[in-house]
């Protein structure tokens, strides 16, 4: 890596690492973690939609599966965080992959409908299956995880979130610059040509949904142990819209897009708190404006500007 | 040609046995049979709608034959899935160029290496040695092919931005990256100017000399007559003639198929 490229990365790392040392305000630390979760969530969605061309309108379902799996294993079976955590993300990834095998035979808006339906079904199951999920009451007694007897809350949890966000980013980058990543992009650009190069589209699309499900599940687990409460209302339709926003505003099919989008979409409600009733309408307007005038999002537009 | 090569010439590489393909009862291919010997260039010609592309799709597995069999290198591949066939070293191009338009020329050709490599998402995610080793080999191979087709200058261009003729060459490069035993070319000269067509013919000759058998659909008669060892003519889904180019060009059925029934 040349120095021109690594300079901003080093600067960003310094800011991220030293942030809690200078900013003592708990609210800002909390917001930083919310941004981290949004980035992880967006990275996975971008892999699915931006790089593999497969839409999901029910992505909150995987967020919920991650959060609920981790929380329920802890509350119902008394498992510690470091056991519930890998089980939860593996499970949400597996659900993505296995669901992908039937539904990713669908294309375009049919796939949109199927994923939207899945999101609604998962939410309904959480609300209705009270014996397992506590229904609309939610789960209130999630505990603070600990790492070698250090409780992970506040600043220490901030570093935990940073660690997983960085891992998610690096792994995404590695995946995209590989045989696997190229196969996803081939499917996005021309699904009918992919088999002539030995690519089984259904398998790769399902893998993409699996990975993005795993990422959403990871964000969900971190969410549950950040707020120490989860309920069905946390994972309803607006959360599925959020991830589309993060990726489209940030830059669909760009590596850095979800990072930019994660910042903007997490901070947006803070500026719009006076108009809380109109959130979805405002979001829809922003989304529409981006699709019309900046379809490649902020990162895509900047990249284009730099080239020309 | 020595005795060994002469012997190999007679080996059947691709055998189409009474293949019929129906679409809603309409026969796009009707009892088509022919053989492509190892090392040859076989031209496939016929008027529009004769079933040439359908036949290509049956060979590459995009369509499954309604009846009949396809044998490749001695094994029956009639029912083998399309995405498995490149692993038996069958590569193809498409009549309407099908590149991955957002990707660069290099990335497109690297995709041609897919069946020759096997690192999976775990190797990639954690940069395991197999991934790094294969990426290096892939790039090397891709640059050899770029060099061969004189596309090196375009390596980093976005494939969708290239003029049509160059897109065709990139698609051929991508198919060559598969290191095929059998290369299926669907109208390779469409969209090329006469000079580019000349260049292409030379490249195809070199490719063939390196041991790659070619099945080529082509509308440019001059081109197909001069590069083919043998020619098969389709009309209305049936084989109406097959043989050496010089025989084909004199065959009355072929002339009639192309020129119509004249005074009738």
* Exposure on the CB side of residue B241, measured as CA atoms within 13 A: 22
Whether A195 and B61 lie within 8 Å, measured CB to CB: yes
Task: Tell me if B102 and A253 make a contact (CB, 8 A cut-off).
Answer: yes
Cα gap A256→A250, rounded to integer Å: 8
Cα A201 versus chain centre, distance: 23
Is B114–A181 a contact, with Cβ atoms under 8 angstroms apart?
no
What is the predicted pLDDT for the residue at B264?
40
Confidence band of B7 (pLDDT split at 50, 70, 90): very low
- Confidence grade of residue A308 (pLDDT, cut at 50, 70, 90): low
H-type helices in A46-80, by residue range? Answer: 60-77
Nearest CA distance, B120 vs chain A (angstrom): 6
**A58 φ, ψ (degrees, to nearest 5):** -130, 35
CB contact under 8 A, B124 and A175: yes
> Per residue in A63-80, pLDDT tens?
999 999 999 999 999 999
Q: Which of residues 168-227 of B touch A (CB under 8 A)?
A: 174-175, 178
Beta-carbon separation of A197 and B86 below 8 A: yes
Judge: A180–B62 Cβ closer than 8 Å, yes or no.
no
Q: What is the pLDDT of residue B261?
A: 54
Q: What are phi and psi of A295, to 5 degrees?
A: -60, -20
Q: Please identify which residue in the block is written with the tokens 């083998």.
A: B80
Pairing mode of beta strands B12-23, B67-72: antiparallel
Torsion from C-alpha of B14, B19, B21, B22, nearest 10 degrees: 180
Cβ neighbors of B10 (< 8 A, separation 6 or more) are B37
Q: Is the pLDDT of residue A2 over 80?
A: no
pLDDT for position A134: 92
In chain A, which residues have their Cβ closer than 8 Å to the Cβ of B99?
Answer: 189-190, 193
CB contact under 8 A, A190 and B100: yes
Would you call B156 an interface residue with chain A, using a CB distance cutoff of 8 Å?
no
Confidence of residue B10 (pLDDT cuts 50, 70, 90): low
B182-224 pLDDT, tens digit each: 999 999 998 889 999 999 999 999 999 999 999 999 988 889 9
| Three-state secondary structure call for residue A308 | coil
**Closest B-chain CA to A170:** B125
Per-residue pLDDT at B141: 97
Q: Would you state the pLDDT for residue A3?
A: 61
The answer to whether residue A167 scores a pLDDT higher than 50 is yes
Q: If you ran DSSP here, which 8-state letter would residue A142 be given?
A: P
- What is the ipTM score, two decimals? 0.91
DSSP label at residue B151:
-
Confidence category of residue B257, pLDDT binned at 50, 70, 90: confident
Packing angle of the helix pair A26-45, A237-250 (nearest 10 deg): 80
pLDDT at residue number B230: 96
Please report where in the chains the tokens 């009862």 appear, as a residue.
Answer: B25
The percentage of residues in chain B with a pLDDT greater than 90, rounded to a whole number, is 84
pLDDT of the residue at B262: 46
pLDDT of res. A307: 65
3-state secondary structure of A55: coil
How far apart are the CA of A77 and the nearest CA of chain B, in angstroms? 31
CB contact under 8 A, A197 and B102: no
Residue A196 in this model has a pLDDT that exceeds 70: yes
Model confidence pLDDT, tens digit, residues A214-260: 999 999 999 999 999 999 999 999 999 999 999 999 999 999 999 99
B115·A197 Cβ contact <8 A: yes
Dump pLDDT digits (tens) for A13-62: 888 888 888 888 889 999 999 999 999 999 999 999 999 999 999 999 99
Of the candidates B263, B176, B188, the one whose C-alpha atom is nearest the C-alpha of residue B224 is: B188
What average pLDDT score do residues A179-186 get? 98
Least confident of B4-13, B66-75, B131-140, B146-155: B4-13
Instruction: Give the span between the Cα atoms of B131 and A133, in whole angstroms.
Output: 42
Q: Are A33 and A158 in contact (CB under 8 A)?
A: yes
Q: Give percent of chain A above pLDDT 70.
A: 98
Nearest chain A residue to B180 by CA distance is A197
Over 60: is that where the pLDDT of B246 sits?
yes
- Could you tell me which chain A residue has the CA closest to the CA of B86? A198
Instruction: Please name the member of A180, A186, A200 whose beta carbon is closest to the beta carbon of B121.
Output: A180
Separation between Cα atoms, residue B192 and residue B201, nearest integer Å: 11
Q: Does residue B13 sit in helix, strand or coil?
A: strand
Residues of B whose CB is below 8 A from A199: 83, 111, 114
Q: What's the mean pLDDT in B165-183?
A: 96
Residues of B in contact with A189 (CB under 8 A): 99-103
Contact predicate B40/B213, CB 8 Å: yes
End-to-end CA distance of chain B: 48
Query: Distance, in angstroms, between B85 CA and closest chain A CA?
Result: 7
Contact A179 B134 (CB under 8 A): yes
pLDDT over 50 (residue B4): no
Q: How confident is the model at residue B5 (pLDDT cuts 50, 70, 90)?
A: very low
Choose among A182, A190, A196: nearest Cβ to B92: A196
What pLDDT is stored for residue B231 in this prediction? Answer: 95
Is the CB of A198 less than 8 angstroms away from the CB of B127? no
Quote the longest CA-to-CA distance of chain B. 72
Closest of A18, A57, A5 to residue A256, by C-alpha: A5
- Could you read off the pLDDT of A79-137 as tens digits, one per residue? 999 999 999 999 999 999 999 999 999 988 899 999 999 999 999 999 999 999 999 99
Give the count of beta carbons closer than 10 Å to the beta carbon of residue A234. Answer: 20
Q: Which two tokens stand for residue B238?
A: 């049936």
Contacts of B103 in chain A (CB under 8 A): 182, 185-186, 189
Q: Is A185–B178 a contact, with Cβ atoms under 8 angstroms apart?
A: no
Distances (CA, A) of B64 to B20, B31, B69: 10, 14, 10
């Amino acid at each position: 890596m040349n120095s021109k490229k690594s300079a901003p990365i080093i600067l960003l790392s310094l800011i991220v690492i030293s942030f809690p040392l200078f900013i003592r305000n708990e609210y800002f630390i909390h917001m930083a973690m919310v941004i981290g979760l949004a980035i992880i969530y967006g990275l996975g969605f971008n892999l699915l939609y931006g790089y593999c061309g497969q839409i999901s309108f029910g992505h909150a379902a995987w967020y919920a599966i991650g959060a609920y799996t981790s929380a329920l294993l802890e509350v119902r079976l008394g498992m510690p965080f470091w056991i519930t955590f890998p089980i939860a993300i593996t499970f949400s990834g597996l659900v993505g992959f296995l669901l992908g095998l039937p539904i990713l035979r669908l294309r375009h808006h049919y796939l949109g409908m199927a994923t939207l339906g899945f999101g609604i079904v998962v939410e309904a199951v959480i609300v209705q299956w009270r014996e397992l999920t506590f229904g609309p009451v939610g789960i209130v007694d999630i505990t603070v995880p600990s790492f070698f007897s250090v409780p992970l809350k506040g600043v220490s949890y901030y570093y935990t979130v940073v660690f997983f966000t960085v891992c998610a980013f690096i792994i995404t980058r590695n995946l995209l610059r590989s045989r696997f990543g190229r196969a996803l992009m081939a499917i996005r650009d021309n699904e009918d040509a992919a088999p002539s190069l030995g690519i089984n589209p259904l398998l790769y699309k399902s893998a993409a949904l699996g990975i993005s499900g795993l990422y959403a599940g990871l964000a969900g687990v971190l969410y549950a142990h950040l707020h120490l409460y989860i309920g069905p209302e946390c994972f309803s339709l607006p959360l599925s819209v959020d991830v589309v926003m993060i990726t489209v505003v940030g830059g669909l099919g760009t590596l850095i897009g979800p990072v930019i989008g994660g910042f903007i979409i997490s901070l947006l409600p803070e500026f719009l708190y006076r108009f809380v009733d109109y959130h979805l309408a405002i979001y829809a307007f922003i989304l529409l404006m981006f699709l019309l005038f900046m379809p490649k999002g902020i990162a895509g537009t900047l990249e284009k500007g730099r080239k020309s | 040609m020595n005795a060994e090569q002469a012997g190999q010439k007679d080996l059947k590489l691709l055998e189409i046995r009474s293949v019929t393909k129906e679409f809603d009862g309409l026969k796009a291919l009707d009892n088509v049979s022919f053989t492509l010997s190892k090392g040859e260039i076989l031209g496939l010609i016929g008027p529009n709608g004769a079933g040439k592309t359908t036949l290509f799709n049956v060979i590459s597995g995009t369509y499954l034959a309604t009846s009949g069999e396809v044998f490749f290198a001695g094994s029956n591949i009639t029912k083998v899935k399309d995405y498995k066939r490149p692993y038996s070293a069958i590569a193809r191009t498409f009549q309407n160029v099908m590149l991955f338009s957002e990707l660069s020329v290099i990335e497109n050709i690297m995709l041609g290496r897919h069946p020759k490599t096997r690192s999976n998402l775990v190797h990639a995610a954690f940069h395991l040695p197999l991934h790094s080793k294969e990426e290096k080999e892939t790039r090397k191979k891709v640059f050899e092919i770029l060099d061969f087709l004189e596309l090196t200058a375009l390596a980093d261009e976005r494939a969708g931005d290239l003029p049509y003729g160059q897109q065709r060459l990139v698609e051929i490069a991508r198919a060559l990256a598969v290191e095929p035993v059998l290369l299926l070319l669907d109208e390779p000269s469409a969209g090329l100017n006469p000079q580019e067509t000349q260049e292409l013919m030379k490249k195809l000759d070199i490719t063939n000399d390196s041991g790659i058998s070619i099945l080529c659909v082509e509308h440019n008669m001059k081109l197909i007559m001069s590069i083919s060892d043998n020619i098969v003519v389709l009309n209305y889904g049936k084989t109406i003639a097959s043989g050496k180019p010089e025989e084909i060009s004199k065959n009355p059925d072929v002339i009639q198929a192309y020129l119509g029934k004249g005074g009738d």
